[in-house]
Amino acid sequence: MVKTYTFNTVDSTNVLAKQLAEEGAAHGTGVIARNQTAGRGRLGKNWHSVEGKGLYCSVIVRPQLSIQEYPKLTLVAGVAVAQVLEALVPQKVQLKWPNDLFFGGKKCGGILAESSSLVEANTKRYAVIGIGININHTLDMFPLELQDQVTSLFIESKAELSIEEVYEKLRIELLAQVKRFEDDGFNAILEEWRQRDYLLGRQMECVNTSGVVVSGVALGPDDGGELHVRDENGQVHKVLSGDVQLARKRV
């Protein structure tokens, strides 16, 4: 039986899960907290946690894959989370490359996948999949400046949910999708991701990690999970990582 560590308050479940992974915690080990004081988002952003209202969890995975495959885990996790949420809310989840979860154009959650060092031997390699989902939030629980951009499962379905039950379903689905990735490869999972692609065909701007601004129409992720964008000159750019936003309006 794989263990889940449950806390009232932590700084970040990802930080804790990474410590546990470094100490050798098994594939599937989870960390869940009612609150986080320093929840982390992608690209060094903060993740706003509301005590007892959201799901704040991290799951350690140790897939037998080359380290080059590890970045795809964010998209694999996106499909797992979408499948679980779609069974709870009568709406399709939209996935905004690479890690955002939306309902009706509003953010309801995000994924922060972090890997062990690239040089780590196969046997020691791990990734921590951090997942934050707005579950029982009402709109007034979010900072004023975010209220027109966010939503929660409660807002969408008008039903309160058990956060522990959502966590358990998510952990099981995440591990199932990671196994599918190991056994059958990325293509079928990517196809399911593409069916929920929020950015596809939209005009967007992206600052990649080299600081270069790419603006154009989103063409979706390629077979390696990297986003393609076509600029106004017809040139196609690849975006491996970076901050992606719709042109003009920040999301």
Residues at the contact surface with ligand BTN, assessed by CB under 6 A = 12-14, 36, 39-42, 45, 47, 56-58, 99-100, 110-112, 130-132
Of 82, 33, 87, 61, residue with least CA distance to 182 = 61
Q: Minimal distance in Å, beta carbon 197 to ligand BTN?
A: 17
Based on CB atoms, which residue is closest to ligand BTN, 28 or 130? 130
Based on CB atoms, which residue is closest to ligand BTN, 10 or 218? 10
- Gap between the Cα atoms of 205 and 248, Å rounded: 9
Is there a contact between 31 and 130 (Cβ–Cβ < 8 Å)? Answer: no
Q: Minimal distance in Å, beta carbon 55 to ligand BTN?
A: 8
Strands 4-10 and 30-36: parallel
Of 70, 110, 126, residue with least CA distance to 198 = 110
Based on CB atoms, which residue is closest to ligand BTN, 41 or 220? 41
Based on CB atoms, which residue is closest to ligand BTN, 52 or 64? 52
Based on CB atoms, which residue is closest to ligand BTN, 115 or 230? 115
Q: Minimal distance in Å, beta carbon 91 to ligand BTN?
A: 19
Residue nearest to ligand BTN (CB): 110
Q: Minimal distance in Å, beta carbon 247 to ligand BTN?
A: 20
- Gap between the Cα atoms of 61 and 172, Å rounded: 12
Determine the 3-state secondary structure of 101 from DSSP: strand
Q: Minimal distance in Å, beta carbon 10 to ligand BTN?
A: 8
Token readout for 242 is 């970076």
Residue at token pair 């490869």? 185
